[in-house]
């Protein structure tokens, strides 16, 4: 992310030096000594040398009185930064682009403050009391803004003298630029004059930056006038060219010297809507026919995976609410089959939320499943998803690196989808690139190592543990797998290894890593 320029503040005047008469002796603290009272001799007469030291409070008061009148004190009230009103509900039409831009701006500002985009959007939807139509528009613009944030902020740096304040104003300009400057080969979603007009209306409706509506108008109109030159200048910087922080670009290039450009480009693409067909309910061929009859164009991209040509709301997907299909990336659908499940097995799905893999496990075999996740709220989603499928599992809210939740009975199979930087699923979660730091890779790899070591003791001899991560960084994937196998003398079985993000005929999946281990017989 571009370095933010300092905001404009009033600099205090320099404190003038005190003047003194020529030849005069500089004042010393001892000069403040009080005069002797009548009838009392001086300290020298008594043979003593007491020194008067005023109390800290009196000394502070003396200095305050002696200070020049123009000495700066507290900042004036007009200089004090007021807390941003992100939850302010503007008086805008519910279906207007202005409201959608303002909602997206609020979400962008929240992400820049450290919130994940889904949580940021949830807060916006609650504060704005949006209609379903407005909800969709805000979400679309917010995701566009995240994918193009590096380019938008670089363009703003070329057109403004300092970073727009408050952050929500910067978010509004970034959201508008994302609409005015779509990715190469993509058609603009709105007419340019409409975007400018509605962005100005959005600015004028919010008390935090209504005064900046003229600036919003000027910046966006300048971009339209000078687009070619501004874009050419901006893309000279990697941040604007790739829309990733520099450390992310460097890490990808170091790990994949031949594929780094394709990997970065794939992360900026819109993800497909891929479904997993529930084999207990129907076959892939039969479900594709159901889709065809309902007017949906779809392609099979995995043994149970069907990719829709056009993404739609899940409420419109035939059979979704009846548990016939679930939304799951084709790459993620490889996990359950790799476990080699058999009826009656005790199976653990560690770090289970939101429950896609738990559901697939139970669709494939009648097993005794325990699903564990540290986040109780996200674990509730596992229960909801299993309920929609008509399936059940034992749900435990606990840390996978701890043992207090374990009943001591070993498992036949363990799925360890461990925490990671999620660098392989950035096309679905474009905010991740702006929230992660380079140091997160080592921290998360260390946590994952503890989880794997802890789970290994819960596995039966001859049992299998599947290590899964949605990261592209070798420290979290292959290096982690190799170190684990060496520590535990584990047998490493065939597995896909590192899957790079791919999209095309017959395949479409995120970036994932798979390593399968078997514990030696006792």
CA-CA-CA-CA dihedral for 415, 419, 424, 429, to nearest 10: 120
In contact, 246 and 301? CB cutoff 8 Å: no
Which residues, at least 6 apart from 195, have a Cβ–Cβ distance to it below 8 Å? 97, 101, 176, 179, 180, 220
Half-sphere exposure of 256 (CA within 13 A, CB side): 17
Half-sphere exposure of 112 (CA within 13 A, CB side): 26
Cis amide bond preceding 475, omega within 30: no
CB atoms within 10 A of CB 300: 16
DSSP 8-state secondary structure symbol assigned to residue 246: H
Which residues, at least 6 apart from 317, have a Cβ–Cβ distance to it below 8 Å? 275, 308, 325
Q: Report the DSSP pairing between strands 394-397 and 368-373.
A: parallel
Q: Which of 321, 149, 171 is closest to 242 using CA atoms? A: 149
Residue 59 token pair: 């000394």
Question: Which of helix, strand or coil describes residue 414?
Answer: strand
Based on the residue annotation, tell me whether 351 is a catalytic residue of this protein: no
Half-sphere exposure of 365 (CA within 13 A, CB side): 17
What is the C-alpha end-to-end distance of the chain, expressed in Å? 53
Residue 425 token pair: 């699923």
Question: Which of helix, strand or coil describes residue 374?
Answer: coil
Q: Please give the order of strands across the beta sheet that includes 459-469.
A: 394-397, 368-373, 346-350, 411-417, 459-469, 512-518, 491-499
Q: Which of 2, 204, 223, 199 is closest to 104 using CA atoms? A: 199
Q: Which of 156, 470, 490, 512 is catalytic?
A: 470
Q: Report the DSSP pairing between strands 411-417 and 459-469.
A: parallel
d(CA 357, CA 367): 13
DSSP 8-state secondary structure symbol assigned to residue 210: G
Put residue 340 in one of left, alpha, beta given phi > 0 → left and psi -120 to 50 → alpha.
left
Spacing of C-alpha 103 from chain mean position: 17
d(CA 379, CA 332): 18
Radius of gyration of the chain (CA): 31
d(CA 171, CA 102): 8
d(CA 179, CA 199): 11
d(CA 470, CA 419): 9
Please list the active-site residues: 470
């Amino acid at each position: 992310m571009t370095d933010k320029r300092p905001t404009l503040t009033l600099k205090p005047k320099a404190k003038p030096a005190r003047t003194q008469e020529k030849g005069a002796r500089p004042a010393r603290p001892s000069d403040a000594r009080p005069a002797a009272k009548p009838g009392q001799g001086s300290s020298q007469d008594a043979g003593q040398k007491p020194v008067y030291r005023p109390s800290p409070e009196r000394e502070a008061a003396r200095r305050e009185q002696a200070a020049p009148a123009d000495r700066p004190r507290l900042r004036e009230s007009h200089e004090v930064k007021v807390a941003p009103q992100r939850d302010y509900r503007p008086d805008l039409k519910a279906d207007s682009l202005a409201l959608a831009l303002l909602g997206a701006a609020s979400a962008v500002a929240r992400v820049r403050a450290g919130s994940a985009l889904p949580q940021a959007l949830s807060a916006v939807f609650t504060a704005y009391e949006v209609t379903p139509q407005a909800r969709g528009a805000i979400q679309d613009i917010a995701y566009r803004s995240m994918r193009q944030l590096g380019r938008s902020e670089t363009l703003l740096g070329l057109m403004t003298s300092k970073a727009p304040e408050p952050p929500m104003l910067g978010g509004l300009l970034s959201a508008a630029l994302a609409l005015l400057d779509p990715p190469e080969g993509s058609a603009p979603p709105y007419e340019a004059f409409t975007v400018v007009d509605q962005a100005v209306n959005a600015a004028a409706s919010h008390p935090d930056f209504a005064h900046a509506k003229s600036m919003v108008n000027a910046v966006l109109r300048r971009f339209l006038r000078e687009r070619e030159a501004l874009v050419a200048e901006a893309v000279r910087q990697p941040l604007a060219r790739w829309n990733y922080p520099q450390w992310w670009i460097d890490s990808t290039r170091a790990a994949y010297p031949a594929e780094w450009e394709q990997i970065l480009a794939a992360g900026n693409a819109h993800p497909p809507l891929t479904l997993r067909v529930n084999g207990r309910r129907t076959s892939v061929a039969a479900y594709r026919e159901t889709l065809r009859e309902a007017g949906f164009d779809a392609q099979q991209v995995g043994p149970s995976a069907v990719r829709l040509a056009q993404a739609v709301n899940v409420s419109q997907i035939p059979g979704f609410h009846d548990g016939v299909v679930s939304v799951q990336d084709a790459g993620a659908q490889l996990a359950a089959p790799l476990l080699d499940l058999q009826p009656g097995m005790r199976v653990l799905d560690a770090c289970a939320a939101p429950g896609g893999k738990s559901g697939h496990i139970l669709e494939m075999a009648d097993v005794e499943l325990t699903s564990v996740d540290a986040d109780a709220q996200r674990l509730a989603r596992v229960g909801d998803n299993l309920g929609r499928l008509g399936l059940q599992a034992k749900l435990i809210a606990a840390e996978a690196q701890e043992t207090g939740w374990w009943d001591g009975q070993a498992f036949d199979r363990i799925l360890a989808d461990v925490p990671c930087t999620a660098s392989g699923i950035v096309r679905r979660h474009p905010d991740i690139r702006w929230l992660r730091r380079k140091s997160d890779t080592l921290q998360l790899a260390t946590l994952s190592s503890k989880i794997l070591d802890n789970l290994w003791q819960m596995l039966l001899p001859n049992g299998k543990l599947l290590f899964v991560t949605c990261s592209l960084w070798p420290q979290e994937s292959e290096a982690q797998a190799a170190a684990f196998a060496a520590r535990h003398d584990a047998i490493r079985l065939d597995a896909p290894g590192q899957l790079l993000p791919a999209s095309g005929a017959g395949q479409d999946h995120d970036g994932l890593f798979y390593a399968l281990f078997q514990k030696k017989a006792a």
